[in-house]
Amino acid sequence: MPLIIGLTGGIGSGKTSAAKFFAALGAELIDTDAIAHEITQPQGAAIAAIRKIFTEKFLTEDGALNRKEMRSLVFSDSQSRRKLEAILHPLIRVEVARRAALFTASYGMIVVPLLLETGGYRGMIHRVLVVDCNEHDQIARTVARAGLDEQTVRAIMATQLSRNERLQQADDVITNDADMAHLRQQVDTLHRKYLDLANKS
Ligand code: ATP
């Protein structure tokens, strides 16, 4: 079994950007956001349960998850958020395990925004890599990228671990507080470290 790294970080911290740099260097990646997206497409594995528990109101006309409706519900109502997570997380974990069993590179990476919040991946990963970023940049980047307003971004951040809680559980940290070149440099260094560790294991 190859070395498996769990990559996490708060919203807008730079997880996807870091993951792309790792992939360009040859790391194999599993992106749980992409899996969440797949299973909430029309006929996706999560749709029947979403229809049953949340009703048609939370589906689009073609039968996909209505992300906008669901986002405004779950970030204002924690009980609904837990219900949605109870549908999605087990399905995502099964798919991650299936894909991780197919890893062939020296090390693989699973990108999980809520890696430390859900705890469900501990048995699958060997190290935790946290992408850390100050709140100001996190908010500015997410507002610019996702078109969410600051209040919504703060509400999402409130459902996630604090920076300190996340950092306490990190084996490795990338500090994404400067430009992309700085991010890339840190990825290069960690890539070499992971290749070394993979060769030793
Ligand atoms: P999310 O939690 O929303 O999925 P994420 O943690 O995956 O976000 P990214 O998508 O990598 O974060 O980054 C968020 C936005 O910030 C993107 O538009 C990205 O291009 C930009 N960004 C990330 N890092 C930097 C950086 N160091 N300098 C400038 N822009 C950056």
- Render pLDDT for 32-73 as a digit per residue (tens, 0 to 9): 999 999 999 999 999 999 999 999 999 999 999 999 999 989
- Cα of 154 vs centre of ligand 1, distance in Å, is 16
Compute CA distances 65 → 18, 114, 146, 167, 183, whole Å: 28, 20, 17, 33, 33
Mean pLDDT of the chain: 95
What pLDDT, on a 0 to 100 scale, did the predictor assign at position 1?
Answer: 73
For range 101-116, the mean pLDDT:
94
For range 159-185, the mean pLDDT:
96
pLDDT at 155 over 80: yes
For range 128-152, the mean pLDDT:
94
- Of 142-146, 186-190, 193-197, least confident by mean pLDDT is 142-146
What pLDDT, on a 0 to 100 scale, did the predictor assign at position 159?
Answer: 87
What pLDDT, on a 0 to 100 scale, did the predictor assign at position 143?
Answer: 94
Atom 13 (ligand 1) nearest CA: 14
User: In which band, very low, low, confident or very high, does the pLDDT at 180 lie, cut at 50, 70 and 90?
Assistant: very high
Residue with tokens 């997380």: 89
- Cα of 54 vs centre of ligand 1, distance in Å, is 31
User: In which band, very low, low, confident or very high, does the pLDDT at 120 lie, cut at 50, 70 and 90?
Assistant: confident
Walk across the sheet containing 28-31 and list its strands.
28-31, 107-111, 3-9, 127-132, 172-175
Q: Are the CB atoms for 8 and 114 separated by under 8 Å?
A: yes
CA-13 nearest atom, ligand 1: 6
What pLDDT, on a 0 to 100 scale, did the predictor assign at position 76?
Answer: 85
Residue of 141, 148, 159, 163 to test ligand 1 pocket, by largest number of atoms within 8 Å of CB: 141
Interhelix angle 32-39/78-100, nearest 10 degrees: 110
What pLDDT, on a 0 to 100 scale, did the predictor assign at position 122?
Answer: 87
Global pTM reads 0.92
Q: Are the CB atoms for 129 and 23 separated by under 8 Å?
A: no
What pLDDT, on a 0 to 100 scale, did the predictor assign at position 93?
Answer: 95
CA-19 nearest atom, ligand 1: 11
Pocket of ligand 1 (CB under 6 A): 9, 11-17, 113, 141-142, 145-146, 176, 179-180, 183
CA-183 nearest atom, ligand 1: 27
Atom 20 (ligand 1) nearest CA: 17
Domain boundaries, given as residue ranges, for the chain: 3-195
* Cα 2 from Cα 59, distance rounded (Å): 39
CA-9 nearest atom, ligand 1: 6
Domain 3-195 fold is: Rossmann fold (3.40.50)
User: In which band, very low, low, confident or very high, does the pLDDT at 87 lie, cut at 50, 70 and 90?
Assistant: very high
* Cα 197 from Cα 201, distance rounded (Å): 6
User: In which band, very low, low, confident or very high, does the pLDDT at 185 lie, cut at 50, 70 and 90?
Assistant: very high
User: Which positions ≥6 away from 9 have C-beta within 8 Å?
Assistant: 15, 18, 113, 130, 131, 132, 133, 166, 176
